[in-house]
Structure 1
Amino acid sequence: MSRPDDRARIPVRVTPRAGRDGIDGVVDGHLRVRVAVAPIDGAANAAVERLIGEALGIPPSSVATIRGARSRSKVIVIIGISPATITARWPGLVV
């Protein structure tokens, strides 16, 4: 069971159908993520979760969309990592 200090919620702004996958950094307090896949049947959400997991060196199963599954603006929860670690990785991100 995880403790509250082992999880972080981060706001994410997604651009689906981008030319390639990538994390563009923090813009207006949101993590800007682009994915090449279309937002069909959760494919874009899965790609976002995979990218964030890879960037943090954690399994994609530790990353989940908890708000905005059908929106470009999302809230992602990351389990097993502290908010301080997230803000150290992406300064300016509102956690």
Structure 2
Amino acid sequence: MLTAFILVKSTREGLTHLGAELADVDGVAEVYTVTGEWDFVAIVRVREHEDLAKVVTQHLTRLRDIDKTQTMVAFQQFSAHDLEAMFGLGLEDKKS
């Protein structure tokens, strides 16, 4: 399974409806509105790199109100549980 994060800059007109349109794209698992330079983050989960290429070049390019995108492919996933195990060593409650 391949996970990618696509940062999306919307036109002003697209701010009210682009999130729902992004969520309807095959392969897009979640969409979030965000603050800062980008307007949306789309989380894509697909089987292969070719599937990601289709999402970006065939599906997202058909959405009118996308101004620009930046795609980041995830290498490794860490859950909150994993991070606690890595960085929480020695922080257990010690009874006196």
More helix as a share of residues: 2
Which TM-score applies when normalising by structure 2? 0.40
